[in-house]
A and B are shown apart, each in its own frame.
Chain A
Amino acid sequence: MKKNLLPLAVVALVAALPLVMKDNYYLHLMILFLMWVVIGSAWNLIAGYTGQVSFGDAAFFGCGAYTAGLLAHHLGVSTWWGLALGGFTAVAVGLPFGWICFRMRGAYFALATLALNEVLRHGATIAEDFTGGMVGILIMPSFMSKIPYYYIALAMAVASIASLRWVVRSKPGYYFVSIREDQDAAESLGIDTHLYKMLSLAYAAFWTGIAGALYMNYMGFIDPHVVFNLHDISIMAILVGIVGGVGTVYGPAVGAFVMVAVQEMFRSGFFGLFKWLGAVSGSDSLVRVAKVLTQAHVLGFGILVVLVILVLPNGIVGDWPKIRKRVFRLDAGTSGT
């Protein structure tokens, strides 16, 4: 029970947050953060635990989002049905794909997922009659306030982390790890690696698809370039997983928080810090710095990928003992002198 204390406390804190914080902007960021917890956890199961790195999470994300959007667009049913069905659509896309592509290993599988995403993106762009093409799909959001979305996202995030925890501690979870460590050895021990990789993919696709459906409901607008986006979705999912900690249960939650904060920091020019400094000091160069920084958020992402992989290859949670040791030793050193 003691082990669960910290996560439960964090959940309670997050659940109480809207009572204190009424600012829509921060609520929006928190909703994005919770959505990324879901996607990051899903990515972590397929990549972190099963060792099949996916570069195409956007494919499943987009499937979920388009399921919700198209249902509303063509049949006129509520987009909330998409939340129930989006995950299954993503699984329906993911399973045949996995059946074909799991015969490839390592980087080749990663490339195949990249290709899947590209195919879906081009497909959604070309099939204008069905998906609206580049015009995209626009729906009316069901709630004016952000708070209902906040709690739905929170429930999803908690459910996804709980299910991840349950899965990795169950028998299939150990099978997944054995596939990651040595696929041939796992196979020789009688594990149907193909089947279990498919199961892992189905889990990841399901949660990513649901997150996509939530995105459709919440944002109210999608087009192929938004949801099938390599940088903003697939790479972001990988970063959330890696920054937080590959192959850890709570890693993606930490990673999602850090990454959403970093993304927003660049997008808003360090929350308007430089703009404010520029206005206060009256210097043009600081204003210009602010402008450059807001344009640089993808560059910041790229550099962050490079730095994180070089410095923290196992992520914040995975390398936590290392970080703690280093910081602790630093403290001891400074107090000694």
Chain B
Amino acid sequence: MDVFLQTLVAGVLKGGLYALIGIGMTLIMGVMGIINLAHGQLMMLAMYVTFVLNTMGVDPYISLFVAMPLLFLVGVAIQKFLLNPLIKAETILPENQVLMTVGIGMALTEIVRFTFSSDYKYITTGYSNQTFFLGNISFSMALTIAFGIALAFTGAMFWFLIRTDLGRSIRATAQDKDAATLMGVNTGRITVITFGLGSGLVAAAGCLLAPVYYIFPDLGGPFTAKAFIITILGGLGSTVGAIFGGVTLGLAESMGATYFGMEYEDIIGLTIFVLVLLFLPGGFKRLTKV
């Protein structure tokens, strides 16, 4: 029973971070209708920002406030100069934007590899390996803090989307772009801001993950895969779904690692992905109607 509870806790803690990654992806998905396949790479970039700041003695949780605005700007630049021009281009394939994100992801990975080499980097902080116990269950200090911050960000994101004017514009654009334009929403600007926001959120996830994970350039790919599994699980474009999707993936991975073996961790996510496509196309969104 202890083993089960321990796995449950580890899964939920990881799931909180996954939710943060997934929300960024699902926002972009909802507004632009494209899957951002450079999402994990943007997170990797944020982790390297954290790493550089850490060598200067800045705590990873403080570098959050540097990495997020920085990645927001990177996201804005990508959308403005690389993705938006594609909308006008006349091509046969509508998936050009998705391909473009693949190219961006590759370029980001290689630029980082150039600058920092492929070596694994670590960020060691006082709390990286600390744990505390509730009953027989151990909680990783860093992951617990990360979970708390991730929850705070998710909450803030919801408040932003539901309460503020800009948030309403984003939701309007996601629901119906043409109608939103007719209502006076500058949808071009909204897409730029949304990509920035998505990048900022995934940057936050990167900073939170940095103290407990290795940092290396190829990190991006697996996390992009996780991000799209989460979005498919949750239902494309659904923010609530992304949270459920994130926690489900976190749980499934840690359960799989405990009861099947570590090497199956990645396969389990993909199996869930296929199962959801088979039996619940549309994801959790279909169940909740949120």
Q: Does B89 contact A (CB under 8 A)?
A: yes
Interface of chain B, main secondary structure: helix
Q: Are B99 and A309 in contact (CB under 8 A)?
A: yes
Q: Does A8 contact B (CB under 8 A)?
A: no
Q: Are A118 and B109 in contact (CB under 8 A)?
A: no
Chain B nearest CB: distance from A307 CB in Å? 9
Q: Does A301 contact B (CB under 8 A)?
A: yes
Q: Does B67 contact A (CB under 8 A)?
A: no
* A231–B218 CA distance with the chains assembled, in angstroms: 12
* A305–B110 CA distance with the chains assembled, in angstroms: 14
Q: Are A309 and B104 in contact (CB under 8 A)?
A: no
Q: A53-B99, A295-B114 are in contact. List 9 more A-B contacts (CB 8 A).
A: A53-B98, A100-B274, A104-B281, A108-B236, A110-B35, A115-B273, A298-B110, A305-B99, A313-B90
Q: Are A100 and B82 in contact (CB under 8 A)?
A: no
Q: Does B263 contact A (CB under 8 A)?
A: yes
Q: Does A107 contact B (CB under 8 A)?
A: yes
A sample of 20 cross-chain residue pairs with beta-carbon separation below 8 angstroms, ordered by A number, consists of A48-B92, A53-B95, A106-B95, A107-B98, A110-B98, A111-B232, A114-B228, A119-B274, A126-B267, A246-B91, A298-B109, A298-B110, A299-B110, A302-B107, A302-B109, A303-B103, A306-B100, A309-B96, A309-B99, A314-B90
Q: Are A235 and B264 in contact (CB under 8 A)?
A: no
* A193–B246 CA distance with the chains assembled, in angstroms: 34
Q: List residues of chain B with CB within 8 A of the CB of A51.
A: 92-94
Q: List residues of chain A with CB within 8 A of the CB of B107.
A: 299, 302-303, 306
* A298–B35 CA distance with the chains assembled, in angstroms: 22
CB nearest neighbor in A for B107: A302
Chain B nearest CB: distance from A186 CB in Å? 15
Chain B residues 75-117 with CB under 8 Å of chain A are 82, 85-86, 89-96, 98-100, 102-111, 113-114
The 4 A-B residue pairs whose C-beta atoms are closest, nearest first, are A305-B103, A302-B106, A299-B110, A302-B107
Q: Are B270 and A122 in contact (CB under 8 A)?
A: yes
Q: Are B95 and A110 in contact (CB under 8 A)?
A: yes
Q: Are A305 and B93 in contact (CB under 8 A)?
A: no
Residues of A within 8 A of B (CB): 47-48, 51, 53, 55, 100-101, 103-104, 106-108, 110-112, 114-115, 118-119, 122-123, 125-126, 180, 230-231, 235, 238, 242, 246-247, 292, 295-296, 298-299, 301-306, 309-310, 313-314, 318
- Known A-B contacts A104-B281, A298-B110; the reply to A115 vs B274 at CB < 8 A is yes
- Known A-B contacts A242-B99, A298-B109; the reply to A101 vs B270 at CB < 8 A is no
Q: Does B196 contact A (CB under 8 A)?
A: no
Chain B nearest CB: distance from A306 CB in Å? 4
Q: Are A238 and B99 in contact (CB under 8 A)?
A: yes
Q: List residues of chain B with CB within 8 A of the CB of A292.
A: 114
Q: Are B277 and A313 in contact (CB under 8 A)?
A: no
Other-chain residue from A118, A301, A314 in contact with B106 (beta carbon distance below 8 A): A301
* A110–B101 CA distance with the chains assembled, in angstroms: 13
Q: Does B266 contact A (CB under 8 A)?
A: yes
Q: List residues of chain B with CB within 8 A of the CB of A101.
A: 277
Q: Does B219 contact A (CB under 8 A)?
A: no
Q: Does B245 contact A (CB under 8 A)?
A: no
* A224–B94 CA distance with the chains assembled, in angstroms: 31
CB nearest neighbor in B for A47: B93
Chain B residues 3-54 with CB under 8 Å of chain A are 33-35
* A230–B99 CA distance with the chains assembled, in angstroms: 13
* A292–B117 CA distance with the chains assembled, in angstroms: 12
Q: Are A235 and B270 in contact (CB under 8 A)?
A: no
Q: Does B137 contact A (CB under 8 A)?
A: no
Q: Does B221 contact A (CB under 8 A)?
A: yes
Chain B nearest CB: distance from A176 CB in Å? 12
Chain B nearest CB: distance from A319 CB in Å? 10
Chain A nearest CB: distance from B117 CB in Å? 10
Q: List residues of chain B with CB within 8 A of the CB of A314.
A: 90-92
Chain A nearest CB: distance from B51 CB in Å? 20
Q: Does B123 contact A (CB under 8 A)?
A: no
Q: List residues of chain B with CB within 8 A of the CB of A180.
A: 92
Other-chain residue from B103, B106, B109, B111 in contact with A309 (beta carbon distance below 8 A): B103
* A235–B236 CA distance with the chains assembled, in angstroms: 24
Q: List residues of chain B with CB within 8 A of the CB of A309.
A: 86, 89, 96, 99-100, 103
* A83–B95 CA distance with the chains assembled, in angstroms: 32
A108, A122, A126 interface centre (most CB from chain B within 10 Å)? A122
Q: List residues of chain B with CB within 8 A of the CB of A304.
A: 103
- Known A-B contacts A101-B277, A111-B228; the reply to A246 vs B93 at CB < 8 A is yes
CB nearest neighbor in A for B95: A53
Q: Are B95 and A107 in contact (CB under 8 A)?
A: yes
Q: Are A305 and B102 in contact (CB under 8 A)?
A: yes
Chain B nearest CB: distance from A303 CB in Å? 6
Q: Are B267 and A119 in contact (CB under 8 A)?
A: yes
* A123–B274 CA distance with the chains assembled, in angstroms: 15
Q: Are A296 and B86 in contact (CB under 8 A)?
A: no
Q: Are B104 and A118 in contact (CB under 8 A)?
A: no
Q: List residues of chain A with CB within 8 A of the CB of B221.
A: 230
A101, A111, A114 interface centre (most CB from chain B within 10 Å)? A111
